[in-house]
Amino acid sequence: MQLFVCLLAKIKLPTMPATTKFLSYKTMQRKKNTHAYVNAAIKIDLDASFNITAKPNLIFGGIAGDFVHATQTEALLNGKNLSQPQTLKDALNTLAQEVVPTPDPVLASPAYRKYLTQALFYRVNIIPGSRSTDI
The per-residue pLDDT for 17 is 87
Query: Which stretches of the chain score pLDDT less than 50?
Result: 130-135
- Taking only the tens place, the pLDDT of each residue in 73-110 is 999 999 999 889 999 999 999 999 999 999 988 788 99
Give the DSSP H or E segment for 118.
Answer: helix 110-126
pTM over 0.85: no
Distances (CA, A) of 61 to 11, 40, 78, 87: 23, 6, 22, 24
User: What confidence score (pLDDT) does residue 41 get?
Assistant: 93
Q: Which domains does the chain have, with CATH numbers?
A: 20-126 (3.30.390.50)
